[in-house]
Structure 1
Amino acid sequence: MTDRAKFRYSAHDGVLEIEGTEAFVSKHFEGLTDIVRIMARHTIVEQKSDAAVGDNIPTASVTPNSESNDQPAALSTKETIESYPEVYSEINGKLKLTVDIPGDATRTKQTNAALLYCYGAALMGDEQVTSKDIREVCEEHGCIDTNFAKIFEDKTIFLSDGVKGGTKHIKLTFQGKKKAKELLDA
Protein backbone atom coordinates (compact mmCIF):
# COMPACT_ATOMS: atom_id res chain seq x y z
CA MET A 1 0.00 0.00 0.00
CA THR A 2 1.44 3.38 -0.99
CA ASP A 3 1.39 6.41 1.28
CA ARG A 4 -1.13 8.97 0.05
CA ALA A 5 -0.74 12.68 0.61
CA LYS A 6 -2.84 15.70 -0.18
CA PHE A 7 -2.20 19.45 -0.44
CA ARG A 8 -5.23 21.75 -0.53
CA TYR A 9 -5.55 25.53 -0.75
CA SER A 10 -8.92 27.24 -0.68
CA ALA A 11 -8.82 31.07 -1.09
CA HIS A 12 -12.49 30.88 -0.28
CA ASP A 13 -13.08 27.77 -2.35
CA GLY A 14 -11.13 28.84 -5.43
CA VAL A 15 -9.29 25.59 -4.48
CA LEU A 16 -5.90 24.44 -5.67
CA GLU A 17 -5.46 20.78 -4.79
CA ILE A 18 -2.89 18.10 -5.47
CA GLU A 19 -3.20 14.51 -4.35
CA GLY A 20 -1.07 11.46 -4.92
CA THR A 21 1.78 9.55 -3.41
CA GLU A 22 3.75 11.27 -0.71
CA ALA A 23 6.76 11.52 -3.04
CA PHE A 24 4.65 13.11 -5.80
CA VAL A 25 3.06 15.70 -3.51
CA SER A 26 6.39 16.50 -1.83
CA LYS A 27 8.02 16.99 -5.23
CA HIS A 28 5.44 19.60 -6.29
CA PHE A 29 4.77 21.13 -2.86
CA GLU A 30 7.45 23.87 -2.94
CA GLY A 31 6.41 25.19 -6.35
CA LEU A 32 2.76 25.17 -5.34
CA THR A 33 3.37 27.01 -2.08
CA ASP A 34 5.13 29.79 -4.01
CA ILE A 35 2.10 30.08 -6.29
CA VAL A 36 -0.26 30.04 -3.31
CA ARG A 37 1.75 32.78 -1.57
CA ILE A 38 1.55 35.00 -4.64
CA MET A 39 -2.17 34.27 -5.12
CA ALA A 40 -2.86 34.99 -1.44
CA ARG A 41 -1.30 38.44 -1.72
CA HIS A 42 -3.68 39.36 -4.50
CA THR A 43 -6.86 37.61 -3.41
CA ILE A 44 -9.51 39.10 -1.18
CA VAL A 45 -11.22 36.38 0.82
CA GLU A 46 -14.33 37.10 2.83
CA GLN A 47 -14.60 35.36 6.18
CA LYS A 48 -17.14 32.55 6.20
CA SER A 49 -19.79 32.56 8.89
CA ASP A 50 -19.54 29.86 11.58
CA ALA A 51 -22.53 28.08 10.03
CA ALA A 52 -20.72 27.83 6.70
CA VAL A 53 -17.60 26.30 8.25
CA GLY A 54 -18.29 22.60 8.15
CA ASP A 55 -15.19 20.92 9.55
CA ASN A 56 -14.21 23.51 12.16
CA ILE A 57 -11.51 24.73 9.82
CA PRO A 58 -10.41 28.20 10.93
CA THR A 59 -10.86 30.85 8.27
CA ALA A 60 -9.31 34.27 8.00
CA SER A 61 -10.06 37.42 6.13
CA VAL A 62 -7.06 38.08 3.92
CA THR A 63 -6.64 41.34 2.07
CA PRO A 64 -3.57 42.53 0.22
CA ASN A 65 -1.15 44.65 2.25
CA SER A 66 -3.23 44.54 5.42
CA GLU A 67 -3.08 42.74 8.71
CA SER A 68 -6.07 41.53 10.63
CA ASN A 69 -6.40 40.34 14.21
CA ASP A 70 -8.31 37.23 13.10
CA GLN A 71 -5.50 35.99 10.84
CA PRO A 72 -3.30 33.10 11.93
CA ALA A 73 -0.10 34.21 13.66
CA ALA A 74 2.06 33.25 10.67
CA LEU A 75 0.21 35.71 8.45
CA SER A 76 -0.14 38.56 10.93
CA THR A 77 3.60 39.30 11.03
CA LYS A 78 4.03 39.91 7.32
CA GLU A 79 7.43 41.28 6.49
CA THR A 80 7.98 43.89 3.81
CA ILE A 81 11.02 45.83 2.70
CA GLU A 82 9.73 48.58 4.99
CA SER A 83 10.54 46.20 7.87
CA TYR A 84 14.23 46.74 7.00
CA PRO A 85 14.63 50.44 6.11
CA GLU A 86 18.36 50.32 6.86
CA VAL A 87 18.84 47.57 4.22
CA TYR A 88 16.23 48.08 1.48
CA SER A 89 14.79 50.92 -0.53
CA GLU A 90 12.45 51.02 -3.50
CA ILE A 91 13.34 53.56 -6.16
CA ASN A 92 11.06 53.85 -9.19
CA GLY A 93 9.66 50.39 -8.49
CA LYS A 94 13.13 48.83 -8.35
CA LEU A 95 14.65 47.23 -5.25
CA LYS A 96 17.89 48.76 -3.98
CA LEU A 97 20.25 47.61 -1.23
CA THR A 98 21.18 50.57 0.96
CA VAL A 99 23.64 48.82 3.27
CA ASP A 100 27.32 47.97 3.07
CA ILE A 101 27.47 44.34 2.02
CA PRO A 102 29.10 42.26 4.79
CA GLY A 103 31.99 39.92 4.06
CA ASP A 104 35.77 39.74 3.99
CA ALA A 105 36.29 38.44 0.45
CA THR A 106 34.70 39.55 -2.82
CA ARG A 107 33.03 36.15 -3.33
CA THR A 108 31.49 36.31 0.17
CA LYS A 109 30.23 39.82 -0.51
CA GLN A 110 28.75 38.70 -3.87
CA THR A 111 26.96 35.82 -2.16
CA ASN A 112 25.66 38.07 0.63
CA ALA A 113 24.49 40.69 -1.89
CA ALA A 114 22.65 37.98 -3.84
CA LEU A 115 21.07 36.61 -0.64
CA LEU A 116 19.90 40.04 0.49
CA TYR A 117 18.65 41.03 -2.95
CA CYS A 118 16.73 37.79 -3.53
CA TYR A 119 15.18 38.02 -0.06
CA GLY A 120 14.17 41.65 -0.59
CA ALA A 121 12.67 40.81 -3.98
CA ALA A 122 10.67 38.02 -2.34
CA LEU A 123 9.39 40.52 0.24
CA MET A 124 8.18 42.61 -2.71
CA GLY A 125 6.43 39.58 -4.25
CA ASP A 126 9.06 38.49 -6.78
CA GLU A 127 10.16 34.99 -5.81
CA GLN A 128 12.64 34.86 -8.71
CA VAL A 129 15.11 37.49 -9.87
CA THR A 130 17.46 37.52 -12.81
CA SER A 131 21.19 37.07 -12.45
CA LYS A 132 21.51 40.31 -14.44
CA ASP A 133 19.77 42.23 -11.62
CA ILE A 134 22.03 40.63 -9.01
CA ARG A 135 25.10 41.46 -11.11
CA GLU A 136 24.00 45.13 -11.20
CA VAL A 137 23.68 45.16 -7.40
CA CYS A 138 27.15 43.65 -7.03
CA GLU A 139 28.58 46.22 -9.46
CA GLU A 140 26.90 49.08 -7.56
CA HIS A 141 28.45 47.83 -4.31
CA GLY A 142 31.86 47.15 -5.84
CA CYS A 143 31.84 43.47 -4.98
CA ILE A 144 32.03 41.69 -8.32
CA ASP A 145 34.73 39.54 -9.82
CA THR A 146 35.19 37.49 -12.98
CA ASN A 147 33.63 34.35 -11.45
CA PHE A 148 30.30 36.00 -10.69
CA ALA A 149 28.10 33.08 -11.85
CA LYS A 150 29.95 30.61 -9.57
CA ILE A 151 28.03 31.87 -6.53
CA PHE A 152 24.83 30.31 -7.91
CA GLU A 153 26.42 26.85 -7.99
CA ASP A 154 25.72 26.49 -4.26
CA LYS A 155 22.42 24.60 -4.53
CA THR A 156 21.93 24.71 -0.77
CA ILE A 157 21.06 28.41 -0.94
CA PHE A 158 20.22 29.20 -4.59
CA LEU A 159 17.96 27.56 -7.13
CA SER A 160 18.61 28.68 -10.68
CA ASP A 161 17.41 27.94 -14.15
CA GLY A 162 18.55 29.21 -17.50
CA VAL A 163 21.34 28.52 -19.94
CA LYS A 164 25.04 28.62 -19.14
CA GLY A 165 26.46 32.00 -20.08
CA GLY A 166 23.00 33.57 -20.30
CA THR A 167 20.65 35.26 -17.89
CA LYS A 168 19.45 32.91 -15.17
CA HIS A 169 16.44 33.13 -12.90
CA ILE A 170 17.50 32.85 -9.28
CA LYS A 171 15.43 31.88 -6.27
CA LEU A 172 16.39 31.22 -2.65
CA THR A 173 16.03 27.79 -1.07
CA PHE A 174 14.68 27.51 2.46
CA GLN A 175 18.29 27.47 3.71
CA GLY A 176 19.01 30.52 1.57
CA LYS A 177 16.09 32.38 3.12
CA LYS A 178 17.36 31.41 6.56
CA LYS A 179 20.86 32.74 5.77
CA ALA A 180 19.41 35.97 4.34
CA LYS A 181 17.33 36.43 7.48
CA GLU A 182 20.46 35.90 9.61
CA LEU A 183 22.25 38.60 7.59
CA LEU A 184 19.32 40.97 8.13
CA ASP A 185 19.25 40.29 11.86
CA ALA A 186 23.02 40.77 12.23
Structure 2
Amino acid sequence: MEKAKFKYSAQEGILELEGSEEFVSKHFESLTDLIRIISRHVVVEQHQHANARETSEAVINASVSSEAKEEKNSQTSQTVADVQKEGIAQYPNYFSEINGNLKIVSNIPGTSVKSKMTNAAILFCYGSKLLGDEMVASKDIRVVCEEHGCLDSPNFSKVFSDRTTFLSDGVKGGNKNIKLTFQGEKKARELLESAQS
Protein backbone atom coordinates (compact mmCIF):
# COMPACT_ATOMS: atom_id res chain seq x y z
CA MET A 1 0.00 0.00 0.00
CA GLU A 2 1.48 3.33 -1.08
CA LYS A 3 1.67 6.16 1.41
CA ALA A 4 0.61 9.64 0.38
CA LYS A 5 0.98 12.99 2.04
CA PHE A 6 -0.73 16.37 1.61
CA LYS A 7 0.42 19.52 3.36
CA TYR A 8 -1.16 23.01 3.26
CA SER A 9 0.06 26.16 4.97
CA ALA A 10 -1.99 29.33 5.18
CA GLN A 11 0.94 31.19 6.65
CA GLU A 12 1.98 28.22 8.76
CA GLY A 13 -1.51 27.40 9.98
CA ILE A 14 -0.70 24.01 8.33
CA LEU A 15 -3.18 21.30 7.53
CA GLU A 16 -1.50 17.95 6.95
CA LEU A 17 -2.88 14.58 5.83
CA GLU A 18 -0.81 11.45 5.74
CA GLY A 19 -1.84 7.87 5.14
CA SER A 20 -2.79 5.53 2.34
CA GLU A 21 -3.32 7.08 -1.07
CA GLU A 22 -7.04 6.25 -0.84
CA PHE A 23 -7.35 7.95 2.57
CA VAL A 24 -5.55 11.12 1.47
CA SER A 25 -7.47 11.34 -1.82
CA LYS A 26 -10.82 10.90 -0.07
CA HIS A 27 -10.12 13.61 2.51
CA PHE A 28 -8.37 15.91 0.03
CA GLU A 29 -11.55 16.11 -2.08
CA SER A 30 -13.65 17.08 0.93
CA LEU A 31 -11.10 19.67 2.09
CA THR A 32 -10.50 21.49 -1.22
CA ASP A 33 -13.58 23.70 -0.79
CA LEU A 34 -12.58 24.48 2.78
CA ILE A 35 -9.07 25.41 1.63
CA ARG A 36 -10.50 27.69 -1.09
CA ILE A 37 -12.67 29.49 1.47
CA ILE A 38 -9.78 29.84 3.91
CA SER A 39 -7.49 31.10 1.14
CA ARG A 40 -9.98 33.83 0.24
CA HIS A 41 -10.08 35.15 3.79
CA VAL A 42 -6.48 34.70 4.93
CA VAL A 43 -3.95 37.31 3.90
CA VAL A 44 -0.63 35.55 3.55
CA GLU A 45 2.35 37.81 4.17
CA GLN A 46 5.83 37.18 2.80
CA HIS A 47 8.29 35.85 5.38
CA GLN A 48 11.16 38.24 6.05
CA HIS A 49 14.53 36.51 5.94
CA ALA A 50 16.79 39.33 7.10
CA ASN A 51 16.61 40.74 10.60
CA ALA A 52 17.43 44.20 9.25
CA ARG A 53 14.30 44.13 7.09
CA GLU A 54 12.16 43.08 10.05
CA THR A 55 13.62 45.85 12.20
CA SER A 56 13.07 48.57 9.58
CA GLU A 57 9.54 47.27 8.96
CA ALA A 58 8.78 47.49 12.69
CA VAL A 59 10.03 51.09 12.77
CA ILE A 60 7.92 51.98 9.73
CA ASN A 61 4.84 50.30 11.22
CA ALA A 62 5.33 52.13 14.51
CA SER A 63 5.39 55.48 12.71
CA VAL A 64 2.17 54.85 10.78
CA SER A 65 -0.51 57.21 12.04
CA SER A 66 -3.79 55.93 13.45
CA GLU A 67 -5.58 57.54 10.47
CA ALA A 68 -3.59 55.39 8.04
CA LYS A 69 -4.37 52.28 10.09
CA GLU A 70 -8.09 53.12 10.07
CA GLU A 71 -7.94 53.62 6.30
CA LYS A 72 -6.23 50.25 5.89
CA ASN A 73 -8.89 48.58 8.09
CA SER A 74 -11.59 50.27 6.03
CA GLN A 75 -10.03 48.99 2.80
CA THR A 76 -9.73 45.48 4.25
CA SER A 77 -13.39 45.57 5.32
CA GLN A 78 -14.35 46.74 1.84
CA THR A 79 -12.30 43.92 0.26
CA VAL A 80 -14.02 41.32 2.47
CA ALA A 81 -17.43 42.80 1.57
CA ASP A 82 -16.52 42.65 -2.14
CA VAL A 83 -15.48 38.98 -1.82
CA GLN A 84 -18.73 38.19 -0.02
CA LYS A 85 -20.88 39.96 -2.64
CA GLU A 86 -18.88 38.21 -5.33
CA GLY A 87 -19.92 34.95 -3.64
CA ILE A 88 -23.63 35.42 -4.29
CA ALA A 89 -22.85 37.07 -7.64
CA GLN A 90 -21.83 33.59 -8.84
CA TYR A 91 -25.51 32.63 -8.58
CA PRO A 92 -27.48 35.63 -9.90
CA ASN A 93 -30.42 33.40 -10.87
CA TYR A 94 -30.75 32.21 -7.27
CA PHE A 95 -29.60 34.91 -4.85
CA SER A 96 -30.00 38.64 -4.52
CA GLU A 97 -29.23 41.10 -1.77
CA ILE A 98 -32.17 43.46 -1.27
CA ASN A 99 -31.90 46.20 1.37
CA GLY A 100 -29.08 44.33 3.05
CA ASN A 101 -31.08 41.08 3.25
CA LEU A 102 -30.43 37.88 1.34
CA LYS A 103 -33.30 36.81 -0.91
CA ILE A 104 -33.76 33.62 -2.87
CA VAL A 105 -35.13 34.82 -6.20
CA SER A 106 -35.81 31.46 -7.83
CA ASN A 107 -38.25 28.62 -7.26
CA ILE A 108 -37.19 26.24 -4.51
CA PRO A 109 -36.65 22.74 -5.91
CA GLY A 110 -38.39 19.76 -4.33
CA THR A 111 -41.21 17.29 -4.85
CA SER A 112 -42.88 17.70 -1.44
CA VAL A 113 -43.38 20.50 1.06
CA LYS A 114 -40.81 18.90 3.38
CA SER A 115 -38.16 18.64 0.65
CA LYS A 116 -38.84 22.25 -0.41
CA MET A 117 -38.51 23.45 3.20
CA THR A 118 -35.25 21.53 3.56
CA ASN A 119 -33.89 22.88 0.27
CA ALA A 120 -34.96 26.43 1.21
CA ALA A 121 -33.05 26.11 4.50
CA ILE A 122 -29.98 24.68 2.76
CA LEU A 123 -29.93 27.38 0.09
CA PHE A 124 -30.59 30.24 2.50
CA CYS A 125 -27.85 29.07 4.89
CA TYR A 126 -25.41 28.69 1.98
CA GLY A 127 -26.26 32.12 0.53
CA SER A 128 -25.87 33.66 3.97
CA LYS A 129 -22.47 32.02 4.32
CA LEU A 130 -21.44 33.50 0.97
CA LEU A 131 -22.35 36.89 2.46
CA GLY A 132 -20.25 36.16 5.55
CA ASP A 133 -22.92 34.97 7.99
CA GLU A 134 -22.04 31.48 9.20
CA MET A 135 -25.09 31.19 11.48
CA VAL A 136 -28.68 31.92 10.39
CA ALA A 137 -31.66 32.40 12.71
CA SER A 138 -34.35 29.77 12.12
CA LYS A 139 -36.96 32.56 12.10
CA ASP A 140 -35.25 33.98 8.97
CA ILE A 141 -35.44 30.57 7.28
CA ARG A 142 -39.11 30.39 8.27
CA VAL A 143 -39.70 33.72 6.47
CA VAL A 144 -38.05 32.32 3.33
CA CYS A 145 -40.32 29.26 3.46
CA GLU A 146 -43.37 31.53 3.88
CA GLU A 147 -42.29 33.69 0.93
CA HIS A 148 -41.93 30.61 -1.26
CA GLY A 149 -45.16 28.99 -0.08
CA CYS A 150 -43.49 25.89 1.31
CA LEU A 151 -43.96 26.32 5.06
CA ASP A 152 -45.42 23.40 7.00
CA SER A 153 -45.49 25.07 10.44
CA PRO A 154 -46.01 21.96 12.61
CA ASN A 155 -43.05 20.20 10.97
CA PHE A 156 -40.75 23.17 10.40
CA SER A 157 -38.29 22.44 13.22
CA LYS A 158 -37.97 18.80 12.11
CA VAL A 159 -36.12 20.02 9.01
CA PHE A 160 -33.08 20.75 11.18
CA SER A 161 -32.97 17.30 12.79
CA ASP A 162 -30.72 16.01 9.98
CA ARG A 163 -27.33 16.37 11.70
CA THR A 164 -25.47 15.47 8.51
CA THR A 165 -26.78 18.67 6.90
CA PHE A 166 -27.43 21.15 9.73
CA LEU A 167 -25.79 22.15 12.99
CA SER A 168 -27.97 24.11 15.37
CA ASP A 169 -27.88 25.73 18.77
CA GLY A 170 -30.67 27.17 20.84
CA VAL A 171 -33.51 25.98 23.01
CA LYS A 172 -35.89 23.25 21.95
CA GLY A 173 -39.09 24.87 20.71
CA GLY A 174 -37.41 28.31 20.58
CA ASN A 175 -35.46 30.23 18.00
CA LYS A 176 -32.30 28.45 16.89
CA ASN A 177 -29.20 29.46 15.03
CA ILE A 178 -28.53 27.16 12.09
CA LYS A 179 -25.31 26.42 10.26
CA LEU A 180 -24.58 24.03 7.39
CA THR A 181 -22.18 21.15 7.81
CA PHE A 182 -19.66 20.49 5.03
CA GLN A 183 -22.09 17.88 3.72
CA GLY A 184 -24.85 20.51 3.79
CA GLU A 185 -22.69 22.92 1.80
CA LYS A 186 -22.06 20.17 -0.73
CA LYS A 187 -25.83 19.64 -1.07
CA ALA A 188 -26.30 23.39 -1.57
CA ARG A 189 -23.74 23.47 -4.39
CA GLU A 190 -25.39 20.44 -5.99
CA LEU A 191 -28.79 22.18 -5.88
CA LEU A 192 -27.32 25.34 -7.40
CA GLU A 193 -25.41 23.46 -10.10
CA SER A 194 -28.44 21.37 -11.07
CA ALA A 195 -30.50 24.56 -11.41
CA GLN A 196 -27.89 26.18 -13.66
CA SER A 197 -27.63 23.22 -16.03
Q: Show the counterpart of 1:130.
A: 137
Alpha-carbon RMSD across the aligned residues, in angstroms, is 3.3
Q: Show the counterpart of 1:47.
A: 46
How far residue 10 of structure 1 moved from its aligned partner, in angstroms, is 6.6
Distance in 1 (alpha carbons) for counterparts of 2:9 and 2:145: 38
SS at match of 2:168: strand
**Residues 10, 179 of structure 1: CA spacing in aligned structure 2 closer, same or farther, 3 A cutoff?**
closer
Structure 2 residue ranges without an equivalent (≥5) = 1-7, 14-33, 51-75
CA contact (8 A) 2:10 2:44 kept: no
Distance in 1 (alpha carbons) for counterparts of 2:87 and 2:130: 5
Distance in 2 (alpha carbons) for counterparts of 1:127 and 1:10: 21
State yes or no: 1:151 paired with 2:159.
yes
Q: Which has the larger radius of gyration?
A: 2
- The partner residue of 1:170 within 165, 178, 181 is 178
Q: Show the counterpart of 1:139.
A: 146
TM-score by length of 1: 0.64
State yes or no: 1:89 paired with 2:96.
yes
User: For each residue in 1:96-136, what CA deviation from the matched residue of structure 2 results, as whole angstroms up to 9, or x when unmatched?
Assistant: 00010001100000000000000001111111101000000
**Residues 117, 46 of structure 1: CA spacing in aligned structure 2 closer, same or farther, 3 A cutoff?**
same
- Aligned AA for 1:95? L
Distance in 2 (alpha carbons) for counterparts of 1:141 and 1:106: 10
Distance in 2 (alpha carbons) for counterparts of 1:44 and 1:81: 21
- The partner residue of 1:160 within 141, 155, 168 is 168
* Alignment size in residue pairs: 139
Structure 1 residue ranges without an equivalent (≥5) = 1-7, 16-32, 53-62, 68-75
How far residue 47 of structure 1 moved from its aligned partner, in angstroms, is 3.2
- Aligned AA for 1:135? R
SS at match of 1:80: helix
Distance in 2 (alpha carbons) for counterparts of 1:117 and 1:154: 16
SS at match of 1:143: coil
TM-score by length of 2: 0.60
Identity %: 56
State yes or no: 1:108 paired with 2:115.
yes
Q: Show the counterpart of 1:28.
A: none
Distance in 2 (alpha carbons) for counterparts of 1:81 and 1:116: 11
- Aligned AA for 2:188? A
**Residues 107, 82 of structure 1: CA spacing in aligned structure 2 closer, same or farther, 3 A cutoff?**
same
Q: Show the counterpart of 1:22.
A: none
How far residue 65 of structure 1 moved from its aligned partner, in angstroms, is 4.2
**Residues 175, 127 of structure 1: CA spacing in aligned structure 2 closer, same or farther, 3 A cutoff?**
same
Distance in 2 (alpha carbons) for counterparts of 1:101 and 1:86: 12
Distance in 2 (alpha carbons) for counterparts of 1:66 and 1:165: 34
